[in-house]
Amino acid sequence: MSRIYNFSAGPAMLPEAVLRQAQEEMSDWQGSGMSVMEMSHRGKEFMSIAAQAEADLRELMAIPAGYKVLFLQGGASSQFGMIPMNLTRDKGKADYLNTGSWSKKAIGEAKRYCEVNVAGTRTEGKFDVPQQGQLKLNAGAAYLHYTPNETIEGIEFPYVPETNGVPLVADMSSTILSRPVDVSRFGLIYAGAQKNVGPAGLTLVILRDDLIGTPIDGTPTMFDYKIHADNESMYNTPPTYAWYLAGLVFQWMKGQGGLEGMARINERKARKLYDAIDASPFYNNPVEPECRSWMNIPFTLANPDLDKSFLEGASKAGLKTLKGHRSVGGMRASIYNAMPEAGVDALVGFMAEFERKYG
């Protein structure tokens, strides 16, 4: 097996050990004579896989009692609608922080279902986040929604907003499981799986029991949290194989020292790359130092005419999918949990060599 270092923002790399285990179990899961893909979601084999995955996620994130964990489909993008549909029936309005491309999408969708108050934005012309003291929070809001890690811009919140009792809702698609978080600070956490959890097709929703209620009129059954909570995410057929693979990833993370262990590795990987960027006028990252993401690191070359050569050379060296998002340009290295430290070392080495040649 010859593996590349894939810096894609998602779907992204999975741990090689997980892929190998999945390969071994592919056609006969633990003597059952079936692939996990072929199992009934209501059979005892899959029920045990599902329960183990949830227990491991609860342990990793230290999810307190009083929270449900849902294994859904539809991606984080479906949650952009599902959240206002389920949470705004009584209050009719919600606060949102707008810090980048994914915040904007969440806001656009929420406006279809409720009144949206944008309670904080970046400083004009800067890659930063609003400070706690700058937030214009509405005490009557159903919730405050924010994006702890903006995948496209590479901006990460260095703090968890304080909302004085208003439920805090977080799109953690590109930062979940990268470090410990205090789940009790949040009303609802959601994430598409394809960045830090597993393959595409699975969406995690972790929500406080008291937020499960009656959605607005006209909400489709499949968009009702209560239906999924009451049926243990098995109201209809869940994404069984993605759920199983996420479970293997959770086991792998436990072997890496849990989220404390992941955080140590992730911080070190990110620091290596930022140090390489900052050490040279040849490379630039636009994000304010205290808001720099550990997971998505955009950078530009001083001379954008060299972008193409950079990407071609990197690709030849087995460093793939480094092209930046079309809205930002340059490069973007996504270095989620499953990116080995050796991949970051290889990228840093390539950057130094490229600069020697063209700088």
Name the catalytic one among 171, 243, 252, 269.
Answer: 171
Q: Decide whether 76 or 246 has the Cβ nearer to ligand PLP.
A: 76
- Reply yes or no on whether 102 is catalytic: yes
Q: In the beta sheet, which residues pair with residue 358? A: none
DSSP string, 308-323: HHHHHHHHHTTEE--B
Name the catalytic one among 195, 252, 269, 294.
Answer: 195
Q: In the beta sheet, which residues pair with residue 150? A: 155
Using rule CB under 6 A, residue 225 touches ligand PLP: no
204 SS3 class: strand
Q: Decide whether 29 or 96 has the Cβ nearer to ligand PLP.
A: 96
- Reply yes or no on whether 90 is catalytic: no
Using rule CB under 6 A, residue 337 touches ligand PLP: no
- CA–CA gap between residue 264 and residue 197 (Å, rounded): 18
- CA–CA gap between residue 316 and residue 301 (Å, rounded): 19
Binding to ligand PLP, residues 72-91 (CB under 6 A): 75-77
Q: Which stretch binds ligand PLP (CB under 6 A): 42-50, 70-78, 240-248, 304-312?
A: 70-78
Contact characters 187-216, ligand PLP, x per CB under 6 A: -----x------------------------
Of 8, 5, 50, the C-alpha closest to 246 is: 50
Using rule CB under 6 A, residue 171 touches ligand PLP: yes
Q: Decide whether 10 or 130 has the Cβ nearer to ligand PLP.
A: 10
- Reply yes or no on whether 56 is catalytic: no
Sole residue written with tokens 């539809």: 74
Name the catalytic one among 29, 102, 243, 252.
Answer: 102
Amino acid identity, position 259: L
Q: Decide whether 88 or 174 has the Cβ nearer to ligand PLP.
A: 174
Q: Can you say whether the dihedral through the CA atoms of 63, 69, 71, 77 is positive or negative?
A: negative
DSSP string, 74-138: SHHHHHHHHHHHHH-TTT-EEEEEE-SHHHHHHHHHHTTTSEEEEEEEPPTT-B----GGG----
Of these, 147, 196, 321, 337, which contacts ligand PLP (CB under 6 A)?
147
Binding to ligand PLP, residues 92-131 (CB under 6 A): 102
Of these, 5, 7, 8, 10, which contacts ligand PLP (CB under 6 A)?
10
Using rule CB under 6 A, residue 173 touches ligand PLP: yes
* Contacts of residue 340, Cβ cutoff 8 Å, sequence gap at least 6: 5
Q: Decide whether 72 or 142 has the Cβ nearer to ligand PLP.
A: 72
Using rule CB under 6 A, residue 219 touches ligand PLP: no
Contact characters 267-306, ligand PLP, x per CB under 6 A: ----------------------------------------
Using rule CB under 6 A, residue 243 touches ligand PLP: no
Using rule CB under 6 A, residue 151 touches ligand PLP: yes
Give the strand order in the sheet containing 296-301.
283-284, 296-301, 331-334
**Which of the 8 DSSP states describes residue 145?**
E
Q: In the beta sheet, which residues pair with residue 144? A: 95, 168
Binding site for ligand PLP (CB under 6 A): 10, 75-77, 102, 147, 151, 171, 173-174, 192
Give the active site residues: 102, 171, 195
